[in-house]
Structure 1
Amino acid sequence: MAVFDATQFDAGIREAVPMPVDGESPSGDSPLGPRTLVWKFYGDVRGTLGFQRVAGTENCIEQLGKAVEDHSVVFTDTLGRARRSAKAIMQTVYSDKPYEWGHRVRDFHRDIKGTIDSDGSRYHALNPELFYWGHATFVDQVIYTTDTFIRRLSYAEKVQIFEEGKAWYRLYGVSNRGEPQTYEEFLAYWDAMLDRFVPTRSVRYGTGYLRQGLPRPRRIPQPVWTVASAPLNAFLRHVVVGTLPPQMRAVCDLDWDDKREKRFQRFAAGMRFLNPVFNRLPIGTLYVKWAAEAWQRAGVDPRREFNRAK
């Protein structure tokens, strides 16, 4: 069984040394493309049900949460930041200039550095261990949301997505020193990282709406919002919270129990049951904008690709 070397991880992340790979960008096609599972599933609109899982798990690691707190506009422009980040990462996968977009994502992080509160040790966003953790949450998102809301993945398909995730990571141009080399190592790494979760200010702020309810838009009167927001808040608390790992629910003080888990699993099973219906939707409806444009550019109909587990 694969194990996670916590000592090596701690030593690496505390170096806080940026390790970009500044070699000339490879020419030719992306290592990803329309025949890969990452292309097939990452841009599917059902994947957006995992938005809080990917955003929250990132920020539960102290160094990354502090980097967001120190350098991000997440506290003043939460939705704007989310849109900008989503576009850049999606375009790294789906654009016809993946290395350019990947290096743009990397270079945005060149000056993100500082110290963490618990012991004053340094962090740097381009430290390989820290940068890879951010990427790992997206690999997990593809596997988790597909297996939960689209269709069950075979073990071989999960391995394939992990391997494609390695190719995806290379597009950023950052050292792969912190990257697990096999899917089994990734699973051990993921479980060990969950046990490192702490209640950073970033993740507590980012999940406040799950505890307190959606904030009322200024133009909507309170009585109207009380009625209109009730089903939205119920959905968030029973579906979005259901996607989160138990360790994240714990640090964010999000209530969960067996009854809610059963309700969540029924919802997920219903979504998987409807997969044939979703696959009849137009590409522009089934996929987010950047993915839909990529499928149209490639001249491939994704609804016919990889619809059954192998």
Structure 2
Amino acid sequence: MTDDHAPADPPLGPTSLTWRYFADTRMLLVGPRAAVLQNMLPALGQGVQDHSVFFAETFARLRRSVGPIMDTVYGGPRAAETGRRVRDYHRDIKGTMPDGSRYHALDPETYYWAHATFVDHLMYGIDTFVRPLTDADRRRIYAESRTWFRMYGVSDRAMPEDWEAFQAYWKRMLDEVVVPHRTARYGVGYVTKGLPAPRRVPRALWRRVSPPLNAVARFITVGGMPPRTRELLGLPWSAADERRYRRFAAAVRRLDPLWPLLPDAVRYFPHARRAFARDGRPRVR
């Protein structure tokens, strides 16, 4: 039974932590954590394998997916309209799993898992590369994420009621549900094989510049994954790697006081800058 006196989930806007940080360019340092985790859910990974251009245009697919999500978060008066449009992109993504069972992208459990990975990505990114999150911060971001999810117009029956329930949900998903699906393994294949050469870059030039790029991509990708999923995907990561990653994250956090001195074009993606111009800048810390 719903408590009629329970406080409403907070809106997204200038007073929300989600607005302040979701389009912060430092979130790029998390790497493809959310995308890889999404594809480790069997039904979601199968849907991407069967219906997406992910294998032919991996990075293009990621760019096309993230933009509409940001437009939902920063959509203001049109956020729900944008969210429903994002939902409708998935109406025809359905099919059969290898065991003969059926899947559909709009199944509430499947759709919520995709959303949950963005919530995790946001909290992990802030806590690792911006500033330590307090328990109150986490509760606030989670409450805001409930508002965000409802913008898609998908059943919220799979959405945990509160932050404690989300923590239990997240642990169960990582411990018992996610698998090293082919789509997820392909998505991190460059960790061992190297990044694919861009079409317009001469091969000779790519051979010279790719080694440091591959090293950075590996470091960010593997470092940003939960330990359990590193094991499932067979991603190499040593104790020395972990120490380097922690030192790197600490160095980035120490730069946070200087971050506001940079121009918005460096600090935020365009989706956020348009929202700030329309509705005002974030007024929270």
**TM-score normalized by the length of structure 1:** 0.85
In the TM superposition, what are the counterparts of 1:81-160 in structure 2 within 5 Å? 81-96=61-76, 97-117=78-98, 119-160=99-140
2:234 is the alignment partner of 1:253? yes
Equivalent in the alignment of 1:281: 262
Q: Output the CA distance in 2 between the equivalents of 1:69 and 1:253.
A: 20
Pick aligned residue for 1:204 from 168, 174, 185: 185
Deviation (angstroms), 1:219: 4.2
Moved more, 280-289 or 142-151: 280-289
Report SS of the residue matched to 2:221. Answer: helix
Pick aligned residue for 2:156 from 145, 164, 176: 176
* 1:101 partner letter: T
* 1:165 partner letter: S
Q: CA RMSD in A?
A: 1.5
In structure 1, stretches of 5+ residues that fail to align are 1-29
Equivalent in the alignment of 1:299: 280
Task: Answer whether contact 2:72 2:83 (CA < 8 A) is retained.
Answer: yes
Equivalent in the alignment of 2:211: 230
2:171 is the alignment partner of 1:191? yes
Task: Answer whether contact 1:54 1:141 (CA < 8 A) is retained.
Answer: yes
Task: Answer whether contact 1:210 1:236 (CA < 8 A) is retained.
Answer: yes
Equivalent in the alignment of 1:165: 145
Residues 133-190 of structure 1: CA distance to partner in whole angstroms, max 9, x if unpaired? 0100011111000000111111100110000000000100011111111111111111
Equivalent in the alignment of 2:220: 239
Q: Output the CA distance in 1 between the equivalents of 2:140 and 2:67.
A: 24
In structure 2, stretches of 5+ residues that fail to align are 1-9
Equivalent in the alignment of 1:269: 250
Q: Output the CA distance in 1 between the equivalents of 2:197 and 2:57.
A: 16
Equivalent in the alignment of 2:34: 54
Deviation (angstroms), 1:295: 1.1
Task: Answer whether contact 2:129 2:253 (CA < 8 A) is retained.
Answer: yes
Deviation (angstroms), 1:233: 1.3
Task: Answer whether contact 1:56 1:248 (CA < 8 A) is retained.
Answer: no
Equivalent in the alignment of 1:11: none
Report SS of the residue matched to 1:123. Answer: strand
* 2:217 partner letter: L
Equivalent in the alignment of 2:196: 215
Report SS of the residue matched to 1:105. Answer: helix
Q: Output the CA distance in 1 between the equivalents of 2:57 and 2:198.
A: 15
Q: Percent identity?
A: 49
Task: Answer whether contact 1:238 1:263 (CA < 8 A) is retained.
Answer: no
Aligned length in residues: 274
* 1:98 partner letter: A
Task: Answer whether contact 1:102 1:172 (CA < 8 A) is retained.
Answer: yes
Residues 230-289 of structure 1: CA distance to partner in whole angstroms, max 9, x if unpaired? 211111222221000122222322101111000000000011001112221112210011
Equivalent in the alignment of 2:6: none
